[in-house]
Structure 1
Amino acid sequence: MPGWIEIIIRSVVFLIALFALSKGLGKKKLSHLTAFQYMLTIVIGGIVALSVVNPAAPVAYGLIALAIWFLIPFAAEFIALKSKRFRDVTKGKGTVLIQNGKIMEDNLKKERITTDDLLGQLRNNNVFTAADVEFAVMEANGDVNVLPKKENQPVTPKMLGTKVSPSKEPQTVIMDGKMLLEPLANASLNTKWLETELEKMNVSIENVFLGQVDSDGQLTVDLFDDKLTVPSPTEKPLLLATMKKCQADLEMFALETENEEAKALYQKNSERLQQAIDKLTPYVN
């Protein structure tokens, strides 16, 4: 067999083996690998390279070596799930870099982090002054997570005592000009509804690059042609405006009528509608 054909066959075999190994080891970004896992990827890459380009090495030997280097970390991951102590040894623990607003210089030296490195990590977390940090920790994978001081944290609706509408995962119902039936069913909608919404926008489904439905049932689309614009959804603002108009009409009727019974009825319903508007406003804005 010609050498180049053998290399092609070996490459395909080991590519399939590597794919199977990567699926077995789980999903993890390269930046989140521990030192042991990083070493593992280097060794596996070396085994594959030697087994592919060295015709004298039997393919079976290379696959056996890959299996061994897969089973050992797989067993280590399994034990780590069961044992906190073993997990601390193999994966490491987080290191506190800032606590109660004070930089822990000894921990910086321990992790070989310079002041510039620390400031750079803070900037990655949108913090530009170390004094604004309440707590910062370097995780085992090298990431630095930062908790700003209370007065420097972003204001949330909860802090303001404001109610907001709960939101769910948006459903992608159109992709590359094709309707996706399963996400549409997950949103408790049907194809007829989607066709009607597209007709309101004067858009055909073939021209839609991406279409999504939010938790309020509003459809937003992005077209293949970037020069075309689609009006924003108006259902919620229109609903609120209609309710406000009805409330204003009830107040006007109460002022215009001379019948005391009708006046009281109009006024009562106007107040009820105003209460409904106050409760609904956070959900439609």
Structure 2
Amino acid sequence: MPLWTQIVVRSVAAVAVLFLMTRLLGKKQLSQLNFFHYIAGITIGNIAGFISLEIENHFMLGVSAILVWTLIPVGMEWLQLKSKRVRKWFDGESTVLIKDGKVLEDNLKKASFTSDELLEELRQKNAFRLADVEFAVLETDGEVSVLLTKENQPITPKSLGLKVPNEQEPQTVIMDGEILDEPLSTAGLSRGWLTTELEKIGVTRENVYLAQVDSYGGLTVDLYDDLLKTPQPSQRELLWATLRKCEADLELFALATKNRKAKKTYESCVRSLKSVVGQVEPYLKR
């Protein structure tokens, strides 16, 4: 076998072994590297390069070395799950850098953090003033977590005492011009609804690269042609669609309830809304 063929075969095999060992190590190897994972990753990569080019050495010796360097981190992960003491010894502990708005200089020195580095980390968390920070901690992976003071935190519905429904995952209903039935069913919608929505904005399915439906039934469309802008439905069409949806919802409520009084109320509302819809239809559907 020619030399270059041996290198190609060994390299492909090394990549396959490296992929399998990386899968064994798990996603933490890719996202949150501690000191030991960092060393193991570098060493395994070097061994993979070694067994690709050192054709005079037996291939399985390199595979055995990779296996050892893979099993050791896996074993350490298992020990860390079982023992807090082992976890503390390998990963260390988080270090509080700012508490109650006061910088802890002694902890900065222990973490080998300068004032400039602290301010840089705060700026990366959109905290440009030290006075805006209530609490900051250096995590074991080297990231700095920042808690802003109460008056500088973003306003949320909870802070205003409002209760809002949970947001559902958007469903991709068209991909590469093809309708995806499973996400469409998950959203509680049909192909007929999707076709109607595309007709409202004057777009054909074949011209759609991606289309998503949010938890409120809103359709977002991205076209193949980036120069074309997706037309938005007019205000009259939106108002007409909203009125018809309200009418359908009221009819559904009337059918679903077992309370006679509530059923009569819903039916009365349906009649009233139908009367309004009939009056505005000539103006909204022209």
Please state which band the TM-score falls in when normalised by the shorter chain.
Answer: 0.7 to 0.9
Query: Is the 8 Å Cα contact of residues 31 and 141 (structure 1) preserved in structure 2?
Result: no
Q: How many residues align?
A: 248
Distance in 1 (alpha carbons) for counterparts of 2:202 and 2:237: 20
Deviation, 1:57, is 1.1
Partner AA of 1:223 in structure 2: L
Partner AA of 2:93 in structure 1: K
Gaps of 5+ in 1: 247-268, 274-285
1:124-163 matches, within 5 Å, as 124-163=124-163
**Could you tell me which residue of structure 2 aligns to residue 200 of structure 1?**
200
| Counterpart secondary structure, 2:221 | strand
| Counterpart secondary structure, 1:97 | strand
Q: Say if 2:113 is the partner of 1:101.
A: no
Distance in 2 (alpha carbons) for counterparts of 1:159 and 1:200: 38
Gaps of 5+ in 2: 248-268, 274-286
| Counterpart secondary structure, 2:52 | helix
TM-score (norm. length: structure 2): 0.79
**Could you tell me which residue of structure 2 aligns to residue 17 of structure 1?**
17
Q: CA 1:31 to 1:236, structure 2 compared with 1: closer, same or farther past 3 Å?
A: farther
| Counterpart secondary structure, 2:173 | strand
**Could you tell me which residue of structure 1 aligns to residue 111 of structure 2?**
111
Identity %: 50
Say which is worse superposed, 161-170 or 200-209, in terms of deviation.
161-170
Query: What's the CA shift string for 1:184-219, capped at 9, x where partnerless?
Result: 222122222222221222111221121100111221
Q: Say if 2:239 is the partner of 1:238.
A: yes
Query: Is the 8 Å Cα contact of residues 32 and 142 (structure 1) preserved in structure 2?
Result: no
Distance in 2 (alpha carbons) for counterparts of 1:96 and 1:236: 56
1:52-91 matches, within 5 Å, as 52-91=52-91
Q: CA 1:194 to 1:240, structure 2 compared with 1: closer, same or farther past 3 Å?
A: closer
Partner AA of 2:239 in structure 1: L
Q: CA 1:161 to 1:76, structure 2 compared with 1: closer, same or farther past 3 Å?
A: same
Query: What's the CA shift string for 1:131-178, capped at 9, x where partnerless?
Result: 211110111111111000111111112222334343111111112222
**Could you tell me which residue of structure 2 aligns to residue 8 of structure 1?**
8
Q: CA 1:71 to 1:101, structure 2 compared with 1: closer, same or farther past 3 Å?
A: same
Q: CA 1:227 to 1:211, structure 2 compared with 1: closer, same or farther past 3 Å?
A: same
Q: CA 1:237 to 1:191, structure 2 compared with 1: closer, same or farther past 3 Å?
A: closer
**Could you tell me which residue of structure 1 aligns to residue 256 of structure 2?**
none
Query: What's the CA shift string for 1:90-130, capped at 9, x where partnerless?
Result: 12221111011011111111111111111111111110011
Query: Is the 8 Å Cα contact of residues 32 and 141 (structure 2) preserved in structure 1?
Result: yes
Distance in 2 (alpha carbons) for counterparts of 1:155 and 1:165: 17
Q: CA 1:31 to 1:152, structure 2 compared with 1: closer, same or farther past 3 Å?
A: same
Distance in 2 (alpha carbons) for counterparts of 1:162 and 1:29: 40
Query: Is the 8 Å Cα contact of residues 202 and 231 (structure 2) preserved in structure 1?
Result: no
**Could you tell me which residue of structure 1 aligns to residue 26 of structure 2?**
26
**Could you tell me which residue of structure 2 aligns to residue 254 of structure 1?**
none
**Could you tell me which residue of structure 1 aligns to residue 284 of structure 2?**
none
**Could you tell me which residue of structure 2 aligns to residue 120 of structure 1?**
120
Q: CA 1:131 to 1:155, structure 2 compared with 1: closer, same or farther past 3 Å?
A: same
**Could you tell me which residue of structure 1 aligns to residue 277 of structure 2?**
none
Distance in 2 (alpha carbons) for counterparts of 1:127 and 1:235: 45
| Counterpart secondary structure, 2:159 | helix
Partner AA of 1:161 in structure 2: G
**Could you tell me which residue of structure 1 aligns to residue 259 of structure 2?**
none
Q: CA 1:7 to 1:17, structure 2 compared with 1: closer, same or farther past 3 Å?
A: same
Distance in 1 (alpha carbons) for counterparts of 2:103 and 2:236: 51
Q: Say if 2:43 is the partner of 1:43.
A: yes
Q: CA 1:112 to 1:217, structure 2 compared with 1: closer, same or farther past 3 Å?
A: same
| Counterpart secondary structure, 1:86 | helix
Query: What's the CA shift string for 1:7-37, capped at 9, x where partnerless?
Result: 0000010100111111111113756211110
Query: Is the 8 Å Cα contact of residues 94 and 138 (structure 2) preserved in structure 1?
Result: yes
